[in-house]
């Protein structure tokens, strides 16, 4: 029905297995496959390319969380799922921007995805809280924490990278950073 996408569309099963196995290749395929669909929707409903990118990435994050939480059942086509989630996210954003969202131009079937979105909003809030906390943390704490918790660097590596004389000093520094971060995180 909609415009044919040039890239190969992976099977739904392939995608779900890829998500469960953290396959970068599966993510790439998935991303390329359905981006035009979401782009089309956003562009035709008073959004631009950047809006489309944000909406699409959020929709994929929702899919990832759903699949990883283990209770994902393929009751519909993945395409429909992504479209519905993306649509819902964009319409919500439109309302937040107090833009009118009547006469929605739809290009695909739509599923009811309210539960997913509620869960996602909660997680998104957590994400934003963490992001704000990290941004407020300042350097070098932010980088130390990110290196340790996100990039899984060892204390030894962090010690070398930042030029601490020994790992104990690095650990002490990390501890202080962590305390401040926790404070920021829980207080906000």
Partner 1 sequence: MRNEIELEAIIEDYLKGKLTAEERIAFEQLRSNDPVIDHKVVAHKVFLDSMAQYAHVVKLKEQMDAVHSQIDVAALAENLRPHPSKWVKLWRNNRSAVAIAASFILLAMVSLYSIQSNNKQAGTFEAMSKDMAKIRSTQNTLIRDIKTREANNSSNNNSNNARFGGTGFAISGNGYIVTNYHVVRGADSVYVQNSNGSYKAKSFYSDPVNDIAILKISDKRFESLPALPYTMKRGSSGIGESVFTLGFPKDDIVLGDGYVSSRNGINGDTLAYQVAIPVNPGNSGGPLLDNSGNVVGIINGKENKTDGATFAVKSKYIMEALNAIPQDSLSRKVSYGKKSSLRGLKRNKQVQKMQDYVFMIKVYNNN
Binding site for partner 1 (CB under 8 A): 1-3, 24, 27-28, 31-32, 35-36, 39-40, 43-44, 49, 52-53, 57, 60-61, 64, 105-107, 123, 126-127, 129-131, 149-150, 171-172, 175, 178, 182, 185-186
- Closest approach, Cβ 73 to partner 1, in A, equals 22
Q: Which long-range contacts (CB under 8 A, 24 or more apart) does 118-125 make?
A: 119/65, 120/58, 120/61, 120/62, 120/65, 123/65, 124/58
Query: Which token pair is 100?
Result: 């009118």
Nearer to partner 1, 101 or 178 (CB): 178
- Closest approach, Cβ 111 to partner 1, in A, equals 18
- Closest approach, Cβ 146 to partner 1, in A, equals 8
Nearer to partner 1, 64 or 162 (CB): 64
- Closest approach, Cβ 89 to partner 1, in A, equals 14
Query: DSSP assignment, residue 140?
Result: T
- Closest approach, Cβ 181 to partner 1, in A, equals 8
Nearer to partner 1, 140 or 185 (CB): 185
Separation between Cα atoms, residue 146 and residue 131, nearest integer Å? 11
Burial of 158 from C-beta contacts in 10 A (0-12 / 13-18 / 19+): buried
Nearer to partner 1, 77 or 131 (CB): 131
- Closest approach, Cβ 163 to partner 1, in A, equals 20
Closest residue by Cα to residue 141 from 92, 133, 156, 73: 133
Answer yes or no: are the C-beta atoms of 5 and 36 closer than 8 Å. Answer: yes
Nearer to partner 1, 30 or 111 (CB): 30
Nearer to partner 1, 113 or 145 (CB): 145
Q: Which residue has the tokens 């669909």?
A: 37
Closest residue by Cα to residue 42 from 26, 24, 56: 56
């Amino acid at each position: 029905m909609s415009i044919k996408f040039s890239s190969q569309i992976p099977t739904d099963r392939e995608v779900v297995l890829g998500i469960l196995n953290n396959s970068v290749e599966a993510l790439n395929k998935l991303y390329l496959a359905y981006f035009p669909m979401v782009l089309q929707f956003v562009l035709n409903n008073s959004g631009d390319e950047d809006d489309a990118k944000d909406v699409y990435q959020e929709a994929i994050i929702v899919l990832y969380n759903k699949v990883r939480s283990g209770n994902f059942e393929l009751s519909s086509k993945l395409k429909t799922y992504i479209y519905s989630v993306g649509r819902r996210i964009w319409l919500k954003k439109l309302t937040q921007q107090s833009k009118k969202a009547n006469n929605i131009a739809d290009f695909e079937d739509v599923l009811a995805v309210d539960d997913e979105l509620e869960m996602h909003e909660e997680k998104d809030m957590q994400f934003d809280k963490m992001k704000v906390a990290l941004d407020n943390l300042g350097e070098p704490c932010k980088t130390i924490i990110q290196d340790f918790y996100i990039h899984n660097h060892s204390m030894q590596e962090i010690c070398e990278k930042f030029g601490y004389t020994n790992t104990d000093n690095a650990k002490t520094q990390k501890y202080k950073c962590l305390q401040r971060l926790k404070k920021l995180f829980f207080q906000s």
